[in-house]
């Protein structure tokens, strides 16, 4: 898997709107002379590749966690209302003053965080607490509410509609420079995910069994939701909503390393980065000199994968 990631990184650095040779890539990386190829590789492709690694790893781990906690093989981070919450924050910010750059990114992160907290609060208010069923139902309800509010805002404010259309194109073309101050949130989310893995393994045997093994199920779910929120919120803030990555990658990871969540999380991080970089590179290659966003490429691949997943019982069992 690390080998696949290395290949994806090399392809991402080497392929773009401006055709470059391997010699030009090496020169740009180790002995730049200020040519157009050097500027394209160092100024655009390398930062974009780093962003793809971070966002892909975040989406992969968040997808593994949400599928594990909800026991739902077709769940992705958007199930907690994170994408719609971020969209609502974007359009509200645009309607109030149209902020740009890092400020808009912070609004997206706040919206994603607020939606996830609301979902978990609603799910926890039931007698049984935050169970997989209540999390899914609360996530659907909050997503529907946020989506309705987004529609209401954009119908009355054209600036909000323009901001939403720009933000909804999930892409690795860095638009906000937020990675420099967002990496601690991604690192904290990854650390919480690693801490959550042993409890998630026990919970896969059933709540009663996990409790008998000494796992505090409520606390484990709280830690898991916090990790998902940080990871998915960071990815939304950095690259916008990128669908299907959080759905596809966990299944690929399970196919390679099995059902142990400790290995799944590591595999999902590596494969998530590789898959997102590959999708971004394909988008730049097939539409030269322009590009297709990574979210479009993943949707083209993810829709057939989703259908295959629904038709094969062996794949949907967790």
CATH number at residue 204: 1.10.3470.10
Question: What is the total residue count of the chain?
Answer: 318
Domain of 94 in residue numbering reads as 61-241
pLDDT at 292 over 90: no
How far is residue 53's CA from residue 94's CA, in Å, rounded to a whole number? Answer: 29
Same structural domain, 72 and 42 = no
Token representation of residue 147: 């989506």
Q: How many structural domains does the chain have?
A: 2
On whether residue 13 sits in a domain, the answer given is yes
Query: Are 67 and 201 members of one domain?
Result: yes
Those residues whose C-beta lies under 8 Å from the C-beta of residue 256, and which sit 6 or more positions away, are: 1, 267, 271
Domain termination site, one of 206, 224, 241: 241
- The verdict on 40 and 79 lying in the same domain is no
Q: Is residue 17 domain-resident?
A: yes
198 and 140 within one domain: yes
Co-location of 78 and 13 in the same domain: no
**Residue 146 and residue 220 share a domain:** yes
Query: Do 154 and 20 share a domain, yes or no?
Result: no
Asked if pLDDT for residue 33 goes beyond 80, the answer is yes
Which pLDDT tens digit goes with each residue over 101-114? 667 777 778 888 88
Min mean pLDDT across 189-198, 275-284, 309-318 is at 309-318
Q: Is residue 198 part of a domain?
A: yes
Distances (CA, A) of 107 to 8, 137, 211, 314: 31, 25, 38, 41
The tokens of 138 are what?
Answer: 């609360």
* Structure tokens, 157: 């404010």
Tokens for 291, please give them: 């590009």
pLDDT reported for residue 175: 58
Answer yes or no: is 299 within a domain: no
- Is residue 295 one of the residues assigned to a domain? no
Together in a domain, 44 and 74: no
> Taking all residues of the chain, what is their mean pLDDT, rounded to a whole number?
84
Please check whether residue 76 is in contact with residue 232, taking contact to mean a CB–CB distance below 8 angstroms: no
Q: Is 316 a residue whose pLDDT tops 70?
A: no
pLDDT band at residue 4 using 50, 70 and 90 as cut-offs: very high
pLDDT at res. 213? 85
Whether residue 137 is found in the same domain as residue 230: yes
Domain co-membership, 71 together with 132: yes
The residue ranking higher by pLDDT, 81 or 167, is 81
| pTM score | 0.86
What pLDDT does residue 284 have?
A: 86
| Whether residues 140 and 36 fall in one domain | no
- CA dist 239 and 234 (Å) reads 9
| Cα Rg of the chain, angstroms | 20
Regarding whether 234 and 86 lie in a shared domain, the answer is yes
Check if the beta carbon of residue 228 is closer than 8 Å to that of residue 20.
no
What's the token pair of residue 233?
């919120």
Give residue 207's pLDDT. Answer: 80
Q: What is the structure's pLDDT at 314?
A: 53
Reported as half-sphere exposure (CB side, CA atoms, 13 A), residue 270 has a value of 16
| Residue of 243 and 65 predicted with greater confidence | 65
pLDDT band of residue 191 (cuts 50, 70, 90) is very high
What is the C-alpha to C-alpha distance for residues 135 and 129, in angstroms, rounded to an integer? Answer: 9
């Amino acid at each position: 898997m690390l080998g696949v990631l290395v290949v994806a990184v090399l392809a991402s650095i080497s392929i773009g709107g401006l055709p470059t040779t391997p010699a030009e890539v090496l020169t740009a990386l180790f002995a730049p002379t200020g040519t157009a190829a050097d500027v394209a590789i160092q100024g655009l492709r390398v930062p974009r590749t780093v962003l793809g690694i971070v966002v892909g790893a975040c989406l992969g781990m968040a997808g593994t966690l949400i599928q594990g906690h909800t026991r739902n093989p077709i769940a992705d981070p958007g199930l907690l209302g994170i994408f719609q919450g971020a969209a609502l924050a974007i359009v509200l910010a645009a309607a109030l003053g149209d902020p740009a750059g890092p400020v808009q990114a912070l609004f997206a992160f706040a919206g994603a965080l607020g939606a996830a907290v609301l979902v978990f609060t609603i799910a926890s208010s039931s007698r049984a607490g935050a169970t997989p069923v209540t999390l899914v139902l609360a996530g659907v309800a909050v997503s529907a509410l946020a989506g309705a509010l987004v529609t209401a805002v954009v119908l009355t404010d054209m600036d909000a509609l323009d901001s939403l259309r720009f933000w909804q194109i999930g892409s690795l073309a860095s638009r906000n420079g937020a990675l420099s101050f967002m990496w601690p949130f991604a690192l904290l989310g990854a650390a919480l995910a690693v801490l959550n893995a042993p409890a998630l393994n026990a919970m896969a045997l059933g709540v009663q069994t996990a409790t008998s093994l000494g796992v505090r199920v409520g606390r484990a779910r709280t830690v898991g939701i916090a990790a998902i929120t940080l990871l998915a919120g960071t990815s939304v803030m950095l690259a916008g909503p990128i669908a299907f990555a959080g759905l596809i990658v966990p299944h690929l990871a399970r196919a390679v390393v099995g059902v142990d969540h400790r290995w799944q999380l590591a595999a999902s991080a590596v494969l998530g980065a590789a898959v997102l970089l590959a999708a971004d590179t394909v988008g730049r290659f097939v539409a030269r000199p322009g590009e297709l966003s990574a979210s479009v490429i993943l949707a083209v691949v993810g829709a057939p994968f989703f259908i295959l997943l629904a038709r094969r019982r062996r794949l949907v069992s967790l």
